[in-house]
Structure 1
Amino acid sequence: MSYFFRLQPLTAAITLACSSTISVVHAEQHTLQLAPIVVTAQNEHTDANGLIIHADPKQPIQPIPASDGAAYLKSIAGFNTINSGGTNGDITFRGLFGSRIKVLTDGSENLGACPSRMDAPTSYISPESYDRITVIKGPQTVAYANTGSAATVMFERDAPNFDADKPYQGQASVVVGSFGRLDHNVEAAVGNDDFYTRLNANRSKSNSYQGGNGKTVPSSWEKWNADLVLGWTPNTDTQIELKAGKSDGKAEYAGRSMDGAKFARESIGLAYTQENVSEHFKKLEAQVDYSFNDHVMDNFSLREFTPSGGMSMPMATNVSRKTLNARIAGTYDWYDLTIKSGVDHQYNQHAKRSAMYNRYVDQARSKDMQFQSYGIFSEISYPLHPQYQLVTGIRADHVEVKDLREASKTSGYNTRLEKTLPSGFIRLESENSDATLKSYVGIGYVERMPDYWELFSPVHGNAGSSNTFNGINPEKTTQLDLGIQYEQGALRTWASSYIGVIQDYILMSYHQHSMGSMSHGISAGAKNIDATIAGLEAGFSYQFTDHIVTDANLAYAWGENRTDHGALAQIAPLEGRFNLRYVTDRYSLGAYLRAVAKQNRIAYHQGNIVGYDLATSKSFSTLSFNGSYRLNSSVDLSVGIDNVLNKTYAEHLNKAGNAGFGYASEEQFNSIGRNYWTRLSMKF
């Protein structure tokens, strides 16, 4: 395996091509179903009449194939990222951020450890190692611990199926691009009807990129992941999986005063699934997962040390989080009624240590937080009529958070928060008799406990509170979601809209404090406000001929701070995407235009724990080209040119460049300029 990761680009390409069988694909079905496609907008496959989006992360994607989960999710309308450098951005959806978005990998949550979310949960995810990405918009499921109010995102793997004469399967790919980009991905499974083992491994690296103006933006990274699964299928209805994983990496950040010197992950889990337990008991699922995240940030190992941002010495901080997830759920069919019920538990513990250079290794870890929750849920679906289905769910989480800091105990502060938080939804789905028109309307309610970053990272909470831990209330979100899909002949259109009212929305306000972590001389304080959010995602596709197809989508989010009578901070501007493709059974050619409007609605120096509004932003657009070619039944070649016109621009959700790299105060760093890439993939 280590040899594979050390292959040079040309060697890797030759190896992949020569390992394939030499055969030609003959179009036995519609040509568009056989053509290799570079994905530019992920809204093609939906469920629940458009509420749930499915994406295939193994497909090539433009811009250049994603190095982490956040970069991939940005291809789905409504998602955006707060950028710090070249990788490990932090996702937003419909203007919401953090634990409002539930991110799961194979049903389990792996939380990052950095107090400023340098290692967001998506930074540990390599998208291509998963078979499917599922996004449930809004508070329209209660099946997972501590429900996300904005969306639930699931990265999932399927159990392999083997032919009698072929006890193995897999795929491998290599990506080569500008600025030293080089990725290797491999997935291999071996087994039979009773046992199997699957390995997912990948490595990604890149040098710092240049913006359209030719200025280098510190943004290099190198990371790797490896996951091994052992499976046992004693019969067609039973599956048991033992899984383990490990990863690490490092990343340079133009928008931070420290870089990520270590992103270590260790995980182990056990999952059990039993289908057709009895006549009405259709499925039993149980799993337990443990992960340990060990993250180091410093200001000297990846950059030349420069005193800035309140740090006069070379420093390193080591933070860690242990997370244990456990869950059991059952699905029951009782005539027309389908019920999914279960219980779950999550426990996580956070610790940290710091010192000059790497002397932190000689120190004991100091625990500062302990979090645990117990949840119970039930979701029910019932067909009211051949054209209507009712789906509803209810959930309760009992959450306890402990402040383990010695300073809090010494000061006599309350060090224990305990809440029982309800959530629920009800949704009506409809479909006309010929399935050309589908729609949904649903209302959901979620109460969310403040997360680690909201309870421990800010300098203070609401006015009059003793400290942040005792100064922030749980959020309460009530949201209406609506959607429609129409498909007739060559035309397919869809739209999703929402309006939500949030009580006690947790907002970060950045200003001068006498203590606390600093960003450009200011640091975050937390407070509760009342807010209203609204917006929509919409799109269409049209097939002009057997070979020419076009599609487009747009996303708009709006937020209002009702307490302070102004805009809600860190809302991405209106964005539209347009694709034009020429497709045959062997190759495709595409043009991709991304257009982003200016954002005038800002809340100066307000936002979240990662970013805050600096100024109104300018509009911009980028044009990209892509192409793909199926060499044979096993090998596909994809190429792309991102930002063909080499535009110089910065995203609205983007951190300011660090002064240690020569950026002026609150000057945002630019996005990548013209970028060439190619991807060669093989199935075996």
Structure 2
Amino acid sequence: MAHSYSVRALLALAGAAVAAGGPVHADSVTTLDEIVVRPAQSGALPTATVLDRTELERARARTSDSAALLRQVPGVSLYGAGGVSSLPAIRGLADNRLRIRIDGMDLTASCPNHMNPPLSYVDPNAIGSVAVYAGIVPVSQGGDSIGGSIVAETLVPELAAPGETLLGGELGGYYRSNGDAYGANLAATAANEQVGLRYVGALANADNYDAARDFKTTTATGRVGHTLGLDEVGSSAYETESQRLGFAWRRDNHLLTAQVSYQDVPRQLYPNQRMDMLGNEATQLNLRYSGDFAWGRLAAQAFYEKVDHFMDFGPDKRFWYGPASGMMAINGMPCAPIGSTCAEGMPMYTESKTLGLGLTADIDLSARHLLRLGAEYRGYDLDDWWPPSGAAMWPGTFDNINDGQRDRFALFGELEMRPAADWLALLGVRYEWVDMDTGDVRGYSSAPTAPGNQSAEALAFNASDRARIDGNLNLSLLAQYSIDEHARIELGYAHLVRSPSLYERYTWSSWTMAAIMNNTVGDGNGYVGDIDLAPEQADTVALTFAWQNPDDTRALTATPYYTRVTDYIDAVAYDPATWRANRFNVLRYANQDAELYGIDVAGRLPLGEGKLGRFGLAGVLGYTRGKNLDTGAGLYNIMPLNLTLTLTQALGGWDNALEVVMVDTKDHLSTVRNEIETPGYSLVNLRASYAWPKVRLDFGVENLLDRMYDLPLGGAYVGQGRTMVINPTDGTLAWGTAVPGMGRSFYVGVNLRF
């Protein structure tokens, strides 16, 4: 917790300086104008959906989860996870199927439950811009993904105008009633025209949240003296802190930036996972260069990330287990002697190291043609091990993944052309060489009688040839025709390829206790990998029609799309003879074919202006259908038909909104996973804000009518009780309970610029 004190001290000092009228200069404060997110390289087609700075500001008080900033982007939905670690999905494809970059860093979740996805490493207050590429992805922005790309940029150090200096920053905080959530953030900038420094620090804390009403039948947690209310969503609390220090240096047409960031998560509990994250430290170093030349633009990058991750049972899950049938603890209490009769939790450690290098050149062939060439390298090393804690786990350490390695080398070329004034086209080719391997493994015990056949499976795994090399070719074709200055049609095709992850290929044990610890989707099942998995190959076609009136107050965008995935990595029963409906099972990753199709629609229009201000209406509609073509069943965690309508009102410094969220029943399900059906629902959210020149106040109510609902992508509720047992009989972890959404919650946030 020493690092937390440093952030709190800085927040306190900044607050004291502001209160005392410290060194704050009006001429050094820049207003936060609307920032339109643009692709990392200039000149790319407008295929990305953009978020402006104004929308990012509005969301600060409502969420501590950076992925939630994308909630209003057409085609984007969120897998439920920890309170700051949602997994974004684009048109039904999520997690490893997306390429997510933060300040150009290509990052991966290093956890058998994917508790630390890339966007969880950056606080919402630190984000300056986000671009979302859905389905049709330029090859310069894609690679090793089939669903799309998310490009997030943090607020880099500003540089002052010639002859001036810049000194300023922000100080903010928020409180949310449901879960007693609170947080604070500090940003400080100092710069002249050549050198800039920027510090960003943030912390967030929350207890378990409550659903709108009772959703379970037991208060038991498996710990003596500790119970949960019937409406309390167990294992939904979190605590996190992050710090970023950035440096920028500019000389003529050359810009060099360097950033070091550190995140500490001492607690993030998971209502849809059998484990909890009780420690996650991540350190990132990032160096970027860009320069303008007579022939075009050159960009280079080098980054390094180290993650130390720890999981065990949080306070809402049983901690002591004994060797009796079903791994039951004796009266829920510790038993002696430790090491022979009891298991003291389930410690799980993960360590990863990522090294990335990149070089991109934009070459101006002519006024109408631009050629983009690039090369990238990403080296990823992973170790995942589980020390023994007693009972059947003695005497050795379980190697889930030992010395895992996944290296990617990529070359790409992209040509942008404007053959006529009303036509714009893009053609891109990308080749990736993915090299994967891992070392020998062992179970807790090497004895032939060790439970779960772990000894025999480890021997078989070690005797296999585990090295795999994939050569993946990606293509992107995009053509845009401008009907007039207000309307355009865009047609795109993409062939995108993704190689399996280390967890999909190399998790090896079918022992129930080990398999249920490997689950990246929150469905309560156990998973086993397959070394021979083939890469996923997705062919996507999409047609976009976009229109806006001259003053941009009216707009409509509609995009129907279709994706066919060859060798889609789905799941099958590990042992068909033991698979049962309406319960949790052990599954195995397997290649099958799949299709996804749907439509995204977004629009806005003014409703009038008078003494009460300007009124407007905005809407986002999404429909996605996913089908496993081998089985005919639905794909897992596909967001049902949904519509969000927002009535807006602006008057002077006021900016208010009444939002209605409508979601259909989720009943097209993944049969093999025994996915839980969720009923349809509608929610009402009320939001208000007032902005002064240097202060912004946000307040509102989420789920105003306190509506009870289940999260369609929230997975199975396993947030309390005997989570190490796949199907316990004591009522604490019954199959069929979905993770509910949050009940009514009031929030308030304030942000001060100085």
Provide Cα deviations, 1:494-538, integer angstroms capped at 9, x if missing partner.
11221111111110235669999xx97522311111111111110
Match of 2:548 among 487, 501, 509: 487
Distance 1:301 1:620, change over 3 A: closer
Distance 1:487 1:601, change over 3 A: same
Matched residues in 2 for 1:8 and 1:201: separation? 9
- What secondary structure, in the 3-state scheme, does the structure 2 residue paired with 1:122 have? helix
5 Å-filtered alignment, 1:363-374, equals 367-374=402-409
Distance 1:14 1:74, change over 3 A: farther
Deviation at 1:300, TM superposition (A): 4.7
Q: Which amino acid aligns with 1:334?
A: L
Matched residues in 2 for 1:18 and 1:663: separation? 54
2:688–2:699: 8 Å Cα contact kept in structure 1? yes
Distance 1:600 1:270, change over 3 A: same
Distance 1:605 1:89, change over 3 A: farther
Distance 1:354 1:674, change over 3 A: same
- What secondary structure, in the 3-state scheme, does the structure 2 residue paired with 1:71 have? helix
Deviation at 1:655, TM superposition (A): 2.1
Distance 1:459 1:538, change over 3 A: farther
Distance 1:63 1:188, change over 3 A: closer
Match of 1:160 among 145, 158, 161: 158
Matched residues in 1 for 2:309 and 2:213: separation? 33
**Pairing 1:441–2:491 present:** yes
Query: Residue in 1 aligned with 2:676?
Result: 615
Match of 1:550 among 609, 617, 620: 617
Distance 1:161 1:3, change over 3 A: same
Query: Residue in 2 aligned with 1:42?
Result: none
Query: Residue in 1 aligned with 2:713?
Result: 653
Deviation at 1:456, TM superposition (A): 2.7
Query: Residue in 1 aligned with 2:567?
Result: 504
Query: Residue in 1 aligned with 2:250?
Result: 233
5 Å-filtered alignment, 1:110-125, equals 110-125=107-122
Matched residues in 1 for 2:712 and 2:507: separation? 23
1:307–1:660: 8 Å Cα contact kept in structure 2? no
Count of aligned positions:
647
- What secondary structure, in the 3-state scheme, does the structure 2 residue paired with 1:628 have? strand
Query: Residue in 1 aligned with 2:699?
Result: 639
**Pairing 1:102–2:137 present:** no
Give 5+ residue unaligned stretches, structure 2.
36-42, 215-230, 329-342, 442-457, 516-527, 722-731
Deviation at 1:307, TM superposition (A): 4.5
**Pairing 1:149–2:146 present:** yes
Q: Given the two structures, how large is their TM-score scaled by the length of structure 2?
A: 0.79
Match of 1:572 among 612, 616, 639: 639
1:20–1:635: 8 Å Cα contact kept in structure 2? no
> Which protein is bigger by CA-based radius of gyration?
2
- Root mean square deviation of aligned Cα: 3.4
Identity within the alignment, %: 18
- What secondary structure, in the 3-state scheme, does the structure 1 residue paired with 2:432 have? strand
Distance 1:10 1:556, change over 3 A: farther
Query: Residue in 1 aligned with 2:518?
Result: none
**Pairing 1:207–2:238 present:** no
Matched residues in 2 for 1:601 and 1:273: separation? 48
Using CA pairs under 8 Å that are at least 6 residues apart, name the structure with larger relative contact order, 1 or 2: 1
Provide Cα deviations, 1:296-336, integer angstroms capped at 9, x if missing partner.
11015675526599766311101111111110010110112
1:513–1:522: 8 Å Cα contact kept in structure 2? no
Matched residues in 2 for 1:423 and 1:643: separation? 43
Query: Residue in 1 aligned with 2:663?
Result: 596
Matched residues in 2 for 1:209 and 1:347: separation? 39
Matched residues in 2 for 1:475 and 1:10: separation? 50
5 Å-filtered alignment, 1:667-682, equals 667-682=737-752
**Pairing 1:262–2:300 present:** no
Matched residues in 1 for 2:352 and 2:601: separation? 39
Distance 1:346 1:150, change over 3 A: same
Deviation at 1:550, TM superposition (A): 1.0
Q: Which amino acid aligns with 2:363?
A: Y
Q: Given the two structures, how large is their TM-score scaled by the length of structure 1?
A: 0.87
Deviation at 1:274, TM superposition (A): 1.0
Deviation at 1:450, TM superposition (A): 0.9
Q: Which amino acid aligns with 1:447?
A: V
5 Å-filtered alignment, 1:128-527, equals 128-144=125-141, 146-157=143-154, 158-163=156-161, 164-178=163-177, 179-213=179-213, 215-218=231-234, 219-235=236-252, 237-249=253-265, 250-275=267-292, 277-278=293-294, 280=295, 282-300=296-314, 303=317, 305=319, 307=321, 313=343, 314-335=345-366, 336-356=368-388, 367-406=402-441, 407=458, 411-433=462-484, 435-457=485-507, 468-488=529-549, 490-509=553-572, 521-527=584-590
Q: Which amino acid aligns with 2:258?
A: L
Provide Cα deviations, 1:119-173, integer angstroms capped at 9, x if missing partner.
2222222232021001111142111573422111011134413244442232232
Q: Which amino acid aligns with 1:664?
A: A
Q: Which moved more, 1:377-386 or 1:120-129?
A: 120-129
Deviation at 1:430, TM superposition (A): 1.8
Distance 1:64 1:196, change over 3 A: closer
- What secondary structure, in the 3-state scheme, does the structure 1 residue paired with 2:347 have? strand
